[in-house]
Structure 1
Amino acid sequence: MNNVTQIKLRRPTREQRVDTIVESARKIFCSYGFEKGSIVDIANDAGIAEGTLYRYFDGKRSLLDEVLRRHYETIFYDIQQTLPSIKGHGNRLRYLIRRILLAISSDRGMCGLITREIRQFDDCQPSLAQELNRQTAVLMANEIKAGIKDGWFRKDTSPSVVCDMIGGGLELIGYSYMKTGKTIDVDGVTEAFSQVILSGIESEKSSTESMANLIARLERTADRLDPT
C-alpha cells in the first residue's frame, strides 16, 4: 500500500488577508477610480469571494481609507525619521516640500487617486485624504512657527498663508503631472519652489547667514580647484 503524504495548505492569517485585499483595492482604485472600481473587481483580484471581503471591510469607502492611510503612513514615517536630523528651519521646510514631490512623482496611480477622489465626498464627511493632507500642513506650519520664534523667518509671516501657498502649488504640480504625464524634476522643482517661498519669509538674520554659508562654500570649492 502506497503511503500518500497529504500536505495541508496553511490558511493566510487575518493580517495577510487584509494586506492582500488592501493591495488589490489600491490596484483597482488607481486603475479605474473609486466610482468605477467595484468590490467584485477587488475580490477577484485578491482571489477571494465577495462575501469574504466583507468580513474585513464594510465597503469601498473603508477600503479607500485604508489604502490612503497606508500610503500616508509611509510618508509620515520617513518624515519622522529624517526631519530631526536636518539643520535649519529653511532646510527642513525644503525637505518637506521635496518629500511631498517625491510622493507625487513616485506613484502616478496614487497621485491620480488622491487628486480625483479628495473632492468627491461632501464637506460634511471629509475624506481621509483631506485629513492627512491637513496633518502634512500642520508639520509645515509648526516648522514655520519655530522659524519665526528663532528669528529665522520674519515676524509678520503667516504660517497658514504660507502653507496654503505651498499646498496649492504642490496640488497644481500634481494635476499637471496627471494631465501631461511628464516626469517631475523633483530636485529642480523643490529648489525653485523653496526659493520663492523662503525669499518672502526669511528674516535679515537668516539671509545674512545664508549668504555667509554660500560664500564659505564657494571659498572651499575655490581652494580645492586651486592647483598651488
Structure 2
Amino acid sequence: MNERPLTESREARRRAILDSAVRVFAEHGFFAARIRDIAAGAGVAEGTIYLYFEGKDDLLLTAFRERVNEFVSSAGAVMEAEAPFQERLARFVRLQFESIEADPPLATVLLLESRQSSKFFGGAVRPVMRLYAQAIDRLLAGGVERGEVRADAEIPFVRAMFIGALEEIELEWLLGDRSRPLAPRADHFAGTFYRGIAPAR
C-alpha cells in the first residue's frame, strides 16, 4: 500500500501488525477476525492498521505474498543443484515441509483461511502463485532435460499433482496430530512421487 521505503521502526511496526493478523486469522478464522484484535495483538491503535494495510484482505494477501517470495528465493539453490533429480525433489519438499513446521499459524492461514477471502483468488494472488508454479516447472523441466523424468511428462499436469499431494499431507498435519514431524517424510514422499514420472527402465 505504502510505496515509500519504511524506516526501521515503521518496518518493525508493519511486521508486528502482520504477525498479529496471522495469529488472529489462525485462531478465529478470517471472517471472524476483527481489526481491533489485530491492533491489540500488535500493540497499536486500530487506526494505525490502515496506515500500513487496506484491511483484512490486504493483510492476508501480504502474508501470502511475502511467504511465497521467501520460499521461492530459498528454493533457488535447489533448482541449481547438480544432484540427481530425486534428491533435488526431496530437498524441495523438505524445504516446504520445514517452512510449514516453522510457523503452523501462518501455514494454517495460507492453506485454509486464504480460501475465505473473496479477493484472494480473484487475481491479486495469481502473480505470486505463478512464481511458485514456475519454480516447480523449472525443477521438472530440468529433470526432463537430463533424462531423469520421462520425456512425455506433461509438466503442468505433473505440477498440479505434485502441489495437490503436498497440500493434502500438509493439511492433514496441520489439522491432526503434529507430534510426527513433516520434514523427515520428505525423502519418502519424493521417492514415491518420482516413481510415477521416472523414465521406463
TM over 0.5, shorter chain:
yes
Q: Larger radius of gyration, structure 1 or 2?
A: 1
Give the superposition deviation at 1:134: 4.1
Alpha-carbon distance in structure 1 between the residues aligned to 2:54 and 2:82: 42
Which secondary structure does the structure 2 equivalent of 1:48 belong to? coil
Figure out how many residues of one structure are paired with residues of the other and give that number: 194
Matched residue, 1:149: 145
Alpha-carbon distance in structure 1 between the residues aligned to 2:186 and 2:26: 26
Matched residue, 2:3: none
Q: Does 1:136 align with 2:141?
A: no
- Aligned identity (percent) is 26
Alpha-carbon distance in structure 2 between the residues aligned to 1:155 and 1:81: 24
Alpha-carbon distance in structure 1 between the residues aligned to 2:183 and 2:49: 41
Q: Structure 1: give runs of 5+ residues left out of the alignment.
A: 1-10, 208-228
Opposite residue 62 of structure 1, the aligned amino acid is D
Matched residue, 1:225: none
Which secondary structure does the structure 1 equivalent of 2:53 belong to? coil
- 1:123-202 to structure 2, matched below 5 A, reads 125-126=122-123, 128=125, 132-202=128-198
Alpha-carbon distance in structure 1 between the residues aligned to 2:197 and 2:33: 44
- Structure 2 contact 79–139 (Cα < 8 Å) conserved: no
Opposite residue 192 of structure 1, the aligned amino acid is H
Alpha-carbon distance in structure 1 between the residues aligned to 2:14 and 2:185: 37
Of residues 33, 38, 45 in structure 2, which corresponds to 1:37?
Answer: 33
Give the superposition deviation at 1:84: 2.4
- Structure 1 contact 57–63 (Cα < 8 Å) conserved: yes
Could you say what the CA RMSD is over the residues aligned between the two structures, in angstroms?
Answer: 2.5
Alpha-carbon distance in structure 2 between the residues aligned to 1:19 and 1:126: 24
Which secondary structure does the structure 2 equivalent of 1:80 belong to? helix
- 1:46-85 to structure 2, matched below 5 A, reads 46-85=42-81
Which of 1 and 2 has higher RCO (CA within 8 Å, sep 6+)? 2
1:114-141 per-position Cα deviation (integer Å, ceiling 9, x unaligned): 221232244861463x654443232112
Alpha-carbon distance in structure 1 between the residues aligned to 2:76 and 2:90: 15
Alpha-carbon distance in structure 1 between the residues aligned to 2:170 and 2:127: 18
Which secondary structure does the structure 1 equivalent of 2:168 belong to? helix
1:19-60 per-position Cα deviation (integer Å, ceiling 9, x unaligned): 222222222222222212111111112222212221221111
Query: Structure 1 stretch 105-114 or stretch 130-139: which is displaced more?
Result: 130-139
- Structure 2 contact 133–159 (Cα < 8 Å) conserved: yes
Alpha-carbon distance in structure 2 between the residues aligned to 1:137 and 1:63: 23
Alpha-carbon distance in structure 1 between the residues aligned to 2:44 and 2:8: 12
Matched residue, 2:83: 87
